[in-house]
Amino acid sequence: MIETRDLGVSIGGKRILSRLAFTAEPGLVTAIVGPNGSGKSTLIKALSGDLPYEGSITFNGIELAGLKPADAAMVRAVLPQAVALSFPYTVREVVSLGILAGYTGVDAGQSHHLPERALAKVDLAGFAGRLYQELSGGEQQRVQLARVLCQVWTAVLEGRPRYLLLDEPVSSLDIKHQLLVMRIARDFARRGGGVVAVLHDLNLTVAGADKVLVMHRGQAAACGTPREVMRDALLSEVFDCQLRVGAVPAEAPFLLPQTALG
Amino acid sequence: MSQPVEMTLFRRFADAPEGDRSARARFVLVLLALLLGVITVFGIATGASDASVSGVIESWFYGGTDGVLSERDRLIIHEIRLPRIALGILVGAALAVSGAVMQGLFRNPLADPGIVGVAGGAGLGAISIIVLGSTLLSPLVVLSGLYALPLAAFCGGLLTTLILYRVATRRGQTSIATMLLAGIALAAFAGALSGVLIYLADDRQLRDLTFWQLGSLGGATWVKILAAGPIIVAALALTPLLSRGLNALALGEASARHLGVPVQRVKVLAVLAVAGATGASVAFTGGIGFIGIVVPHLLRLIIGPDHRYLLPASALLGASLLLLADAVSRTIVAPAELPIGIVTAVFGAPFFLWVLLRRRGILDL
């Protein structure tokens, strides 16, 4: 389990997160939603170990600040928003970076096929020989997803709780691949991994997440199942615009903006 | 990647998994080692004296007891050509690997100790010893003897690299534009201080300095190799430890850390290795530019940027190219000698421009 208690983060003297209590359990896809500047990415960065923090962040009961990079890499993999490479690595070489020997317990024989399997999973079978720099933004994002899957997938299959931290994993993707990525996240969770993902699309969140943390001004405005947080009043206040939750069919809530565009 | 020449050359690696260039890289490493061997033998055999290749090889294998080589040729080979070639191999490998490591560290194919002021800082250290070694800095020279020159160059290079990294890095992100601009400023500053020292130098020192600044493998002796060799070899021996880290750093510092790489340690070791290799090279051969840009770039085109192969391949090709440049510098105006720095710049500078043309918008990275 990932657990934060009294989590506070300041950047350049400005308080971004304060007194945040939050848990993400293995077996669940936990979505973080909220307006721009509400602290979603800062929370993911803090969980990734990129920022100094007050309070506590624990992975499976171990304090993050005490973990060496190599130990932290065993427990969680992080998908950044976008990665530009300055050298002509092939797709396979990028994905293989996820398998740094000794970090995942994958032996050489297994690791040989892992990149292909991961690429097939993200719908990039046959891309292994292409140069990463020549791919589109959406393709690059999926290559990076394949890389982080390689880092923790085997451990999860062996029954050890591992986590994926995804910072806007669908931001450059078309709708088919948005759904694919959510399916991969759910599959990862069903096999015993934990997923924490920053998402912007509330309807995709409802469809894909088991649990939603709604962030507002650096704090948790609400946390619960999608059904629990999809409330007109809460979302309208947090996002500062008129929103209405409908349901089609009756059990699947969806969101309809009420602000005129014209 | 689909040039016909490559296709034939690497057909036997067709069964390697798609996108996996490691088999090809290992093959290229073997070729480069052979190339270096051939160039070394020819380097020993060519020069103002006419000791032949076969004569040299025979003298090695049979000890030369029956006079295959004359005593004069033996002296020339053992006291002039061999140390010169050994120095060329050491320095060529050092410059090329320094370039490759620095490019990996800064995530930019144009970072090079010569361009971002590290060589300038090392040069300042070396000039200080040459000019002030008998006066102000004499305690240092007495204390470290033979190693005073490479150590001073090492410290100069280290200091410049540290300042450069400090200035160009904010919150773990190294700004390439800032780095190149800071490099210009540092190079200019080191150049100005060097100018002050040159102003203070006497006539004999002045002549030494001028030729030293143009770069040359001439005047190589076993004593110099004893001084530069251990530092360069130690620095090069450090770099295999960095290759996985440098590969991960291509994704950015944060992602490298997320992959479990101790980024801070990789950076410190990389800076030490570059400063050591560049400093020791600059101390004895002066300003030999562009090897550090040209060699890694050519190799990335052939074997890709995986540092596990790029670093040793850079060492081999860097050594070969510098020996070739030295052969050109010795023969093109024979019996006089063109400083080797001129040769590498004449070929290297246009190559550098070509790289720039191929990669527009490099400052945006």
Q: Domains (ranges, CATH) in chain A?
A: 2-257 (3.40.50.300)
Q: Tell me which residue of B235, B220, B231 sits closest to B273, measured CA to CA.
A: B235
Of the two residues B217 and A187, the one the predictor is more confident about is A187
Q: By three-state DSSP, how is residue A95 classified?
A: helix
Chain B CA closest to residue A81? B255
* pLDDT value of position B1: 43
Contact B236, B194 (CB under 8 A): no
Question: Phi/psi class of residue A27: alpha, beta or left (left: φ > 0; alpha: ψ in -120 to 50)?
Answer: left
Alpha-carbon distance A253 to nearest alpha carbon in chain B (angstroms): 36
Question: In angstroms, how far is the first alpha carbon of chain A from the final one?
Answer: 46
Tokens representing residue B151 in the block = 């150590």
Tens of pLDDT, residues A108-146? 556 678 889 999 999 999 999 999 999 999 999 999 999
pLDDT of A2 reads 94
| β-bridge mates for residue A90, sequence order | A131
When mean pLDDT is compared across A97-106, A224-233, B121-130, B221-230, the lowest value belongs to A97-106
Contact yes or no for B259 and A73 at CB 8 A: yes
State the Cα–Cα distance between residues A201 and A208, nearest whole angstrom: 11
CA-to-CA dists, residue B324 to A131, B31, B211, B283, B330, angstroms: 33, 16, 20, 21, 10
Mean of all residue pLDDT scores within chain A: 89
Please identify which residue in the block is written with the tokens 């010795």: B330
pLDDT of residue B2: 44
Give the burial class of B48: count Cβ atoms within 10 A of its Cβ; 0-12 exposed, 13-18 middle, 19 or more buried: exposed
Of A68, A87, A91, the CB nearest to B109: A87
Query: What span, in angstroms and rounded, lies between the C-alpha atoms of B51 and B84?
Result: 16
Instruction: Judge whether A108 is closer than 8 Å to chain B, CB to CB.
Output: no
**Residue A102: predicted pLDDT:** 44
Give yes or no for a cis peptide into B335 (omega within 30° of 0).
Answer: yes
Three-state SS sequence of B141-210: HHHHHHHHHHHHHHHHHHHHHHHHHHHHEECCEECHHHHHHHHHHHHHHHHHHHHHHHHHCCHHHHHHHH
Buried b / exposed e over B22-34, threshold 16 CB at 10 Å, is bebbbebbeebee
**Encoding tokens for residue A137?**
């933004």
Q: Do B248 and A97 touch (CB under 8 A)?
A: yes
Q: Tokens at residue A54, please?
A: 């007050």
Measured between beta carbons, which residues in chain B are less than 8 angstroms from residue A100?
A: 244, 248, 259-261
Beta bridge partner(s), residue A216: A219
Question: In the A/B pair of chains, how many CB contacts fall below 8 A?
Answer: 98
The predicted complex's ipTM stands at 0.90
C-alpha B133/C-alpha B153 separation (Å) is 13
**Cα(B351)–Cα(B365) distance, integer angstroms:** 21
Q: Which of B21, B259, B306 sits opposite A151 (nearest CB)?
A: B259
Contact status, residue A37 vs residue A45, Cβ threshold 8 Å: no
DSSP 8-state class, residue A251: T
Burial class of residue A155, CB neighbours in 10 A (0-12, 13-18, 19+): buried
Q: What percent of chain A has pLDDT over 70?
A: 94
Query: Nearest to residue B243, comparing CAs of B290, B168, B313?
Result: B313
pLDDT at A8 over 90: yes
Q: pLDDT at position B362, please? A: 40
Query: Residue A187: how many CB atoms within 10 A of its CB?
Result: 13
Nearest Cα of chain B lies from the Cα of A49 at a distance, in angstroms, of 8
The total number of residues written for chain B in this structure? 365
| Per-residue pLDDT tens listing for chain B (365 residues) | 444 444 444 555 556 778 888 889 999 999 999 999 999 988 887 765 666 666 666 666 665 555 556 777 777 777 888 899 999 999 999 999 999 999 998 888 878 887 778 888 988 988 888 888 777 777 777 777 777 877 888 888 889 888 888 887 776 666 667 877 888 899 899 989 988 988 888 888 887 787 777 777 877 888 888 888 998 999 999 999 999 999 999 998 889 999 999 888 888 888 889 888 988 888 888 878 889 988 999 899 889 999 999 999 999 999 999 999 998 888 888 778 888 888 888 888 888 788 777 765 443 33
The confidence band for A193, taking pLDDT boundaries of 50, 70 and 90, is very high
Q: What angle do CA A15, A17, A21 make, to 5 degrees?
A: 150
Please state the CATH superfamily assignment of the domain spanning residues B4-360 in this structure: ABC transporter involved in vitamin B12 uptake, BtuC (1.10.3470.10)
- Determine, for residues A89 and B248 on separate chains, whether the beta-carbon distance falls below 8 Å: no
Q: Does B260 touch chain A (CB under 8 A)?
A: yes
User: Mutate which of A97, A127, A139 to disrupt the B interface (most B C-beta within 10 Å)?
Assistant: A97
> Which chain A residues are within 8 Å of B305, Cβ to Cβ?
87-89, 93
Distance of CA A87 to the CA centre of its chain: 26
Can you read off the two tokens belonging to residue A15?
A: 């308080």
CA distance A222 to chain B (A): 29
Enumerate residues 189 to 248 of chain B having a beta carbon within 8 A of any beta carbon in chain A.
244, 247-248
Helix axes B148-168, B222-238, angle to 10 degrees: 30
